[in-house]
Each structure stands twice: as C-alpha cells, then as structure tokens.
Amino acid sequence: MKVKKLFEETKHAKFMNEHGIKTAGLGGVGFSEKEQKWYGWSHRAIHGFKIGDIVKEGDCCASSGWTDDYIKKHPEKDTSLSIGFIAKTLEDCKKMAMAFSDSVS
C-alpha cells in the first residue's frame, strides 16, 4: 500500500511540475501561470479550468460531494456551482477548481 501511495504522489508531482502548477495553500487547488488555468485535485483526479469553461450537467464541480442531508445542516460546505456557470475570470476558474477538488475528495 505504501508503494502505491508513493507512486500516486510521484505521479501527481510529475504532472504538477510538467504543467507548472503552484499550490495556492488551499489544499487541492493550484494555479498554472503558463497555462492560465486553475487546477483542482485529490488523490483520485486532477483537472484544469480556464476562462470560457462552462459547468455542464454531470460535471464534478456541479456537485459538492456531500449528501443532501449534510448540505442542509452545513450549507457553507457546498462549493458546487450551478449548471451553466461560465468562467469569465481567473477567479471564476479558481471557484471551479475548488468545487472540483471538494467533489472528488
């Protein structure tokens, strides 16, 4: 198990280095200056978001990853974005990355 975890960490580190992703101190979110993308990730997945991206039905950033009951009790934990949300700024891209990271964690 330790070998698999080490491999996954190395694989993620290599990907992040290749894409120039710098972590933002937000846990699971970072920015690539050269690609002008915000990335969200967990141990399961990584994805980059750029200006012009749109949230579609079924996208990870359209779901918080929490149960409906939990969200009712803790609405502040819901970072999901509505279907049709368009990233018009890099700050919007960051929101998408954060929602993605929360969803796949």
Structural domain span for residue 34: 2-104
Q: How many domains does the chain have?
A: 1
Q: What is the pLDDT of residue 1?
A: 41
Helices first, then strands: H and E counts in the chain: 3, 4
Q: What pTM did the predictor assign?
A: 0.84
pLDDT digits (tens, 9 = 90+) for 74-89: 999 899 999 999 999 9
Neighbouring residues of 3: CB distance < 8 A, sequence distance ≥ 6: none
65 sits in which H/E element: none
pLDDT digits (tens, 9 = 90+) for 39-75: 999 888 899 999 999 999 999 999 888 888 999 999 9
Ramachandran bin of 84, using left for φ above 0, alpha for ψ from -120 to 50, beta for the remaining angles = left
Q: Work out the pLDDT band at 26, boundaries 50, 70, 90.
A: low
> How many residues comprise the chain?
105
For 90, the token pair is 């890099």
DSSP 49: E
